[in-house]
Chain A
């Protein structure tokens, strides 16, 4: 018989209590992983942003457009490599509750400024040739079972009317932080129709995406862009893509902070659940610890027995929770619109956090019972009536 076997036997002494504790820990770990995943998904846009991309938007608010005419002026600034632009189109595809980004983009430049959207050469050529074509992210194509050549009909809301797009490409994400849920189509197609149906809205773009040669020049180029349009009808605000994304996230910072706090409160709950089990377990065994001491088992041995049992329970609970987290997060994803959290998966850091927390809790929960067992003398231990 080995000490590990003894730890296992002790842990399974009260099977129901141990099982409930393990389930309690696993549920808490699932909640922890889910919350952390939501928080990291929220920041996915920030993480995916590129250092050599600037975003130029209307200075007052993102919702106001900028003139198309700014494109060449921005491109003339030294250090600027490519200028692209986009419009938020929105619209409804099949179900208004199913959200994903639909953007009118500059077909000539969009894939130069977003090299993380991977297309084949023929897909790109076909897209550029056909005015009413579109490119889909692979996640959206998969979700709606769409393939190249299919027609996608979108009911416009910001831009009213029925809009038909032919799918000419399905992009794949280059990195695991790349959003694969976007639908991109020709800004020219949108602009032409606006000229016919709502001329006042023609010639407007939502924002510019500026690819710069040297990320170290971002502050200087941003200043130059904004200076260029100072006192114009549409003043600009230029910032790095990261700062732009952070601006979005910050608008919900109270929710994120609450989730962060809540995820750590859950760790506290696990600690209390396991701590309670270990204290009860150690109290019931006060006489046994006296026997162990009498037989010559040392402080080291008792610490190992109690700490090992606590670690075993926390590791089992943590492991089970982590194991169940993956299918639960998969299931959770089906209940939220695909485009709302384009990158929604358990990050390695979340797994590390969950494992480290479970093990740390296993150790911390054992401190009080160990202390009690070591402080109780053999004579007191034999007199103990539980």
Chain B
């Protein structure tokens, strides 16, 4: 299996006034295509920062981040936005659905950036929502859905463009045990049946158990 994510000697620091705060220290990691990687570690260990670098929503201070043969650390903002739209699906802890849009419209959002026809978009949205088991909730607004259902809409939004990788930041962190379990089963299915490469940040050892590979971060170092 080929390497889809190749991170070489990546460091990341933030600045607070003149004080440099190192978050990641010389990280090197490879993720194979079709892998399901769980990143674990205590708060402040740098796991979300690493996920952000892989997803192209932040840039490393040093090193290279190559995802699906693209060195995203060298892309400009506009190119990076296009790359994210085509290559990455995002699942957040707090779902981050747009409250004024229905489940259907939320899932359709990433497709608005494509040249797909209205009919084609509709078909893809319906497929994605059916896949996450919300075919009957398409025209519900987020406030009319439970937390687990909202997260499933977020997963449908993440997969609707058929991205190369899925990144999930604490996807079960805001859910009860049953809902969390349903989400993890869904993610497992996406990995096993649809061969999606998934990188998941989690605190929860039960969630991490679903991954094929677990890596720990501590104080910015992979251990």
Contact = CB atoms under 8 A, between A and B. Distances in A.
B109 interface: yes
Nearest to B105: A1
B90 A9 contact: no
B84 to A, nearest CB: 5
B58, B81, B83: which has the most chain A beta carbons within 10 Å? B81
Given A1-B101, A6-B101, A378-B58, A297 B113 contact: yes
How extensive is the interface on chain A, given as a class? 20 to 34
A358 to B, nearest CB: 24
B52 to A, nearest CB: 6
Given A3-B112, A378-B57, A379-B57, A296 B85 contact: yes
Contact of A13 (B84, B86, B100): B100
A379 B58 contact: yes
Contacts of A13: 99-100
Contacts of B101: 1, 6, 9
B81 A287 contact: no
B85 A295 contact: yes
- Main SS at interface, chain A: helix
A63 to B, nearest CB: 68
B20 interface: no
Contact of A379 (B52, B99, B108): B52
B96 interface: yes
Contacts of B96: 287-288, 290-291, 382
Given A9-B101, A10-B100, A13-B100, A294 B108 contact: no
Nearest to B89: A295
Nearest to B104: A1
Contacts of B81: 293, 296-298
B interface, by DSSP: helix, strand, loop or mixed?
helix
B78 interface: yes
A295 B77 contact: no
A109 interface: no
A153 interface: no
B162 to A, nearest CB: 14
A377 B113 CA distance: 20
A294 B90 contact: yes
A299 interface: yes
B98 interface: yes
A299 to B, nearest CB: 7
A157 B140 CA distance: 78
B86 A296 contact: yes
A297 B108 CA distance: 13
Given A10-B100, A288-B98, A295 B90 contact: yes
A379 B52 CA distance: 8
Interface of B: 52, 55, 57-58, 77-78, 81-86, 90, 92, 96, 98-101, 104-105, 108-110, 112-113, 157
Please list the 9 inter-chain residue pairs (A to B) with the smallest Cβ-Cβ separation, ordered nearest first. A296-B85, A9-B100, A378-B57, A291-B96, A1-B105, A296-B84, A295-B110, A296-B81, A298-B81
Given A9-B101, A294-B57, 12 more contacts: A1-B101, A13-B99, A291-B98, A293-B57, A295-B90, A296-B82, A297-B81, A297-B85, A297-B113, A298-B78, A301-B113, A377-B58
